[in-house]
Structures are given as structure tokens and as C-alpha cells.
Amino acid sequence: MPVAPNVSDYDSLYAGFSWETEKAGLSGLPNGQGLNIAYEAVDRHAMGALRDHIAFRWIKKDRSVRDCTYQELMELTSRFANVLGELGITKGDRVFAFLGRIPELYIAALGTLKTTAVFCPLFNVFGPEPVFQRISRGDGSMLVTTKDQFEKKIRQLLERLPQLRYVLLTDAEQDESGQVRSLPRLMEKASAAFTIPTTAPEDPALLHFTSGTTGLPKGALHVHKAVLVHYVTGKYVLDFHPGDIYWCTADPGWVTGTSYGIIAPLVNGVTNIVDEEEFDATRWYAILEEQKVNIWYTAPTAIRRLMRMNISPREKYNLEHLRLMLSVGEPLHAEAVTWGEKTFGMPFLDNWWQTETGGIMIANYRSMPVRPGSMGKPLPGVEAAVAEVTDDSFSIITEPGKDGHLVLKRGWPSMFRTYLHDEERYNKCFRGDWYLTGDLAKRDADGYFWFVGRADDIIKTSGHMVGPFEVESALMEHPAVAEAAVIGKPDQLIGELVKAFVVLKPEYQPDEALKLDITAHARRKLGPAVAPKEITFIDNLPKTRSGKILRRLLKARELGLPEGDLSTLEQP
């Protein structure tokens, strides 16, 4: 039976939307004691009809599976909350997790939220220095990690982290000291019953560091009220229906893996698949088939890798359960959207948001015609616009098709409440009622938003403003191109010269003839002023752990400048 989309008519939903009305989909803490993310995600379901429904299915690296019902999850997270209480962790304290995608990570996240302490996930692949930076900047009181990570990366940091009161090891049988404790032992002793304390909707809940694509990662602080956005986007963008099986491929080390790899699916009561392993095309297709995934949320970097592999998944795998595919994190090239249609029989639906927004802000909806290359339309309840911004002026652009700064009217529930230890920078993000996202976009006559580039990446060449995305998209349409990244290189004559780094598909050889052919293709598509003047073939593009192309690093290397903060650089 086809499943009717939750958004049947975007325009009327948008026009009649109210956050207040949507709140009815949440429960609130019993006796009017506020709003707590973990209660909405876990306890209310565990005490209701979803008690025995699978909340998480964790797939281990060896492909074995562990299921956890809402009821079991309530007990485990309550135990964890009691462990924190025993150790004196209280409201507002920061609890860090430095774990792979194993059950303890999810239990720690939700258990911490129950206590009103603040949870901060770290990418498991970080080296000691990025971990140190984040725990010290984030004033971490507790760290949950494994024995192996502790020995390799953390022990050496303890002296420099005097505020870190406890390290809990998920796989240690015995306590090592008063500070370094065995989590299983503590969990065993703790009670499985926990009453969530009064939680104000404005109480801090999550600390997320940004991806570090444009510079030093910033610590964005989010509050419990954000859960309203997780709920609403789960319903309207991810289109959750009862009984759905959902898979978000993001790691909780960045915001997607928490907002949409933990909170949104649970709040909406669906089954959340987690795979411990890193990207692997055939494994991924097999998971889609075996787990009967209905909704799949992934990222452009993964989609481009799948595109490169040339597998026809529908010929080899039974993907009949798949109803919806979504993408976030970077611009999704039109090419990728149509590849989705060709390969899976449905487009990838792009959506836009950032660490600071806490949840999806602009999206393509199942029922809305997709314009490949567009990010879609604002979430109901969110006002987005394009603005002309200078140091001392701000005005909304009403003319369709004109580039400007992407801005959001402040006040959506999951808006970040500060940059940790950098209030000044936070304040600079606002102009009156508007939040400046740092991205450039345009809006077409029908209200679709189109990504132009990050404000930092815009290239000024011969009096034109060129967004890298436009050039990269055109390059991607050439049959030999697997991936491309475009930067501006200072040039005396024309200001900046458009330079492209191109990764070829495996079956193509880099040579002058191909370079000329790609250049000619780009010139036809973009015109000579915008097309790259220089092309360099490269084996891999430098990326963040969350899969974003690090154009600033390509540029720094090209110009022989310092490489800046590389804590989130993915090592190929």
C-alpha cells in the first residue's frame, strides 16, 4: 500500500503552521515539569503503546545485530542517568562521549539528557589534540570512552584536563582508579528507575562543534526545546509513519548524527538503524535490503561515492521497502538527484541546515515537485530569505533569482543559544530579527532556494561573483568527472581566477586532452568568464570527517599558506 506523505500540500501547511499547535505531538514531562528531549524520545513511548517496539537496531562491524526496545532503552538510559547522579554530575555539567557507533554512545547521550547535564559527542577518529581542544573548551566534567581509546589518546591528556572528573570506560571490567571507572560495573549497580527532574525548555541540552569547514570549529549550544524541531522535521521532512524503519548514515560526532541519528526518529517512535561500520557500498546496499529500510538519510559525499561505483543496486538488491531518500551536509548536485531517480526510482531529496540551526530548515518534501539542484523550501514555521548584507546595512532581497546572504528569522525552537565562550561571535550572527547563516543563496520566483556557496568561498573574478557550487555542478555533468572542488586564486589582472580540482572516475586517465575536453564542456555550460581557467587532477579531495570538501585547505596548499585547523580533516 502506498504511504500518503505527511505533507500533502506544502503551501497550505506553511500558511497555517504554528509551533504552538505542533507541540501537541509532544507530551511534556508529567505534572507540567517542563520539556526534556529524552522523555519525548524514550520514556513516553516506553510507557505507552511502543513499549515493545524496537527503538534501535545496532549493526556491529561483523554484521551481527543487537535490538533494543523502547522499554529496554528507557531502563538503560535511566541506569546511565543514575550513574551520573551517583558521581555527582548535575545540571549543566558537560558529559563528552568519544565512542564509535556502539550502543553505549546512544545510551550515554539519552541518559545524559535525562539528568539535564549537557551531552557533547566527539568523532571517534579524532586524535588526542582535537579531543583535548574540545573537552577543555567545552569544560568537560566527564568522558565516556573505550579502554583502547583511553590508552591511545586520553591518558596522556589527563594532566592537562583538570576539570575532567571522571572517565567511564565502556569495556573495562574493573575500575582503574577513583577517576577512571568501569561503566558496566556502575551500570550494573545503578537502579533502572529514574525520574527525570524538572527541565525548562531553555535548559541547555547539547553541545555540538561545527565541522570546521571554514576554520576553527565553533561550539554551538542547544536547548531541550529543540526537540520540537526534531519532532516536526521528522514528521514533515523525513515523513515518518508508524512502523517505519529508518537509517541515518551520519555519525553523532556531528550534528546530523544526533538530531537525526538519535532524537528525531525516536521522538517520532520509529525504528532507528545504526551501522557501526564506515562507508562501504555493497554493505550499504545490503543493509537497505536486509533491514527493509523505508527512509534513508545520507550525505552528498556518500552519494557521489556510490555514483562512482557504477553498481545498479536495484538489479542486485531488493529495495522495495525504500520510500524516501534524503541528503544533507553539502550541496547536492542536480546530477546526483537525477542519478537517484535513474538508479533507485526516486530522487534524493536535498535539505539544508547547519549545526547552529539544530535541525532541518529548508527542504524538499515528498509531495513537492523536485527541482534538481535546489535545496527546496523553508520548513513550515521557519522564515528564510535572501538578504543584501554589508558591514552597516541589511535589506531583504525580494527580486527572484538574485544572489545574497541566506538569512533566517530568529525564533525557531532549535536555534543555537550561543557559541561557547564566544558570545561576541554569536551576536555578530544576528542583524535585528535575522540570523545570518554565512551561506549565500538565491530564491526563484516559486520560492525554491538554491545554494550559491559559503560566503567565505565566493570567488570574485573579472567583476563577477562566482559560487563554487555552480562551477562544480557543471563539471560534475562531464562524464569523466567524479568530484570537483573550485577555489579562487588571486590574480593581478582579474582579481581571482577560477581554479578547479577534479577527481576522475576510475575508468578515465588524466591527460591534457581530457583537461581540454572538460574545460570546453565547462565553457559551454558556464561561459568563459565563469568556467575554470585552471584545472588540476587530484586523486582525492580533502574533506572533513563529516564529508565536506575543505576548499580552504586546497586554497592554502595552492597558495603555500598555513593550513589552519585540521582537526576535522579526514585521513584518506
Q: Candidates 33-41, 131-139, 436-444, 554-562 — which segment interacts with ligand ATP by CB under 6 A?
A: 436-444
Strands 295-298, 245-248: pairing is: parallel
Taking a C-beta distance cutoff of 8 angstroms, is the pair 418, 429 a contact?
no
CB of 43 to ligand ATP, least distance (A): 29
CB of 118 to ligand ATP, least distance (A): 18
Burial per residue of 59-76, b for 16 or more beta-carbon CB atoms within 10 angstroms, e otherwise: bbeeeeeeebbbbbbbbb
Task: Give 521 or 555: the residue with its C-beta nearer to ligand ATP.
Answer: 555
Task: Give 368 or 529: the residue with its C-beta nearer to ligand ATP.
Answer: 368
Task: Give 36 or 327: the residue with its C-beta nearer to Mg ion.
Answer: 327
What is the footprint of ligand ATP within residues 210-239 (CB under 6 A)? 210-215, 217-218
Query: Total residues contacting ligand ATP (rule CB under 6 A)?
Result: 27
Residue 195: CA atoms inside 13 Å, Cβ hemisphere, count? 5
Cα–Cα dist 33/30, whole Å: 6
Q: Which does 295 bind (CB under 5 to 8 A by kind): Mg ion, ligand ATP, none?
A: none
542 near ligand ATP, rule: CB under 6 A: no
Taking a C-beta distance cutoff of 8 angstroms, is the pair 45, 70 a contact?
yes
Among 253, 331, 359, 467, the residue binding ligand ATP under the rule CB under 6 A is 331
CB of 251 to ligand ATP, least distance (A): 12
CB of 213 to ligand ATP, least distance (A): 3
CB of 420 to ligand ATP, least distance (A): 13
Task: Give 40 or 251: the residue with its C-beta nearer to ligand ATP.
Answer: 251
Taking the CB of residue 129, how many other CB atoms lie within 10 A of it? Answer: 12
Task: Give 210 or 258: the residue with its C-beta nearer to Mg ion.
Answer: 210
Task: Give 272 or 437: the residue with its C-beta nearer to Mg ion.
Answer: 437
Interacting residue ranges for Mg ion, rule: CB under 5 A: 210
What is the footprint of ligand ATP within residues 452-471 (CB under 6 A)? 454
Nearest 5°: CA angle at 359, between 27 and 434? 110
Among 104, 203, 244, 350, the residue binding ligand ATP under the rule CB under 6 A is 350
Q: Which DSSP helix (H) or strand (E) runs through 204?
A: strand 204-209
Among 254, 297, 419, 435, the residue binding ligand ATP under the rule CB under 6 A is 254
Task: Give 34 or 453: the residue with its C-beta nearer to ligand ATP.
Answer: 453
Contacts of 319 (CB under 8 A, 6+ apart): 285, 288, 289, 313, 344
φ/ψ of 289, rounded to 5, equals: -75, -55
Rg of the chain (C-alpha set): 23
Closest CA to 48 of 236, 369, 337, 269: 269
355 near ligand ATP, rule: CB under 6 A: yes
The set of cell numbers assigned to 244 is 517505519
3-state secondary structure of 463: coil
3-state secondary structure of 98: strand
Chain-centroid distance, C-alpha 314: 27
Q: Which does 375 bind (CB under 5 to 8 A by kind): ligand ATP, Mg ion, none?
A: ligand ATP
Q: Candidates 150-158, 172-180, 351-359, 408-416 — which segment interacts with ligand ATP by CB under 6 A?
A: 351-359
Task: Give 99 or 336: the residue with its C-beta nearer to ligand ATP.
Answer: 336
The set of cell numbers assigned to 501 is 580540482
451 near ligand ATP, rule: CB under 6 A: yes
Closest CA to 242 of 272, 273, 268: 268
3-state secondary structure of 308: helix
Alpha carbon separation from 200 to 23, 33, 92, 116, 128 (Å, rounded): 15, 8, 12, 9, 35
Q: Which does 555 bind (CB under 5 to 8 A by kind): Mg ion, ligand ATP, none?
A: none
Q: Candidates 19-27, 170-178, 433-441, 475-483 — which segment interacts with ligand ATP by CB under 6 A?
A: 433-441
Cα–Cα dist 317/478, whole Å: 28
Task: Give 350 or 472: the residue with its C-beta nearer to ligand ATP.
Answer: 350
Per DSSP (E only), the strands in 355-415 are: 362-363, 374-378, 384-390, 393-397, 404-409
Q: Which does 328 bind (CB under 5 to 8 A by kind): ligand ATP, Mg ion, none?
A: ligand ATP
φ/ψ of 277, rounded to 5, equals: -80, 160
Query: What is the largest distance, in Å, between two alpha-carbon atoms of the chain?
Result: 72
Task: Give 149 or 211: the residue with its C-beta nearer to ligand ATP.
Answer: 211
CB of 363 to ligand ATP, least distance (A): 9
Q: Candidates 27-35, 346-354, 503-511, 527-535 — which segment interacts with ligand ATP by CB under 6 A?
A: 346-354
337 near ligand ATP, rule: CB under 6 A: no
Task: Give 128 or 438: the residue with its C-beta nearer to ligand ATP.
Answer: 438
CB of 327 to ligand ATP, least distance (A): 7
Q: Candidates 66-74, 129-137, 209-217, 306-314 — which segment interacts with ligand ATP by CB under 6 A?
A: 209-217
Taking a C-beta distance cutoff of 8 angstroms, is the pair 504, 510 a contact?
yes
Taking a C-beta distance cutoff of 8 angstroms, is the pair 348, 322 a contact?
no
Residue 413: CA atoms inside 13 Å, Cβ hemisphere, count? 25
3-state secondary structure of 449: strand
298 near ligand ATP, rule: CB under 6 A: no
CB of 415 to ligand ATP, least distance (A): 13
Task: Give 210 or 301: the residue with its C-beta nearer to Mg ion.
Answer: 210
Q: Which does 232 bind (CB under 5 to 8 A by kind): ligand ATP, Mg ion, none?
A: none
Per DSSP (E only), the strands in 328-415 are: 348-352, 362-363, 374-378, 384-390, 393-397, 404-409
CB of 214 to Mg ion, least distance (A): 6
CB of 46 to ligand ATP, least distance (A): 31
Instruction: Write out the residues near ligand ATP by the rule CB under 6 A.
Output: 210-215, 217-218, 254, 328-332, 350-352, 354-355, 375, 437-439, 451, 454, 546, 548
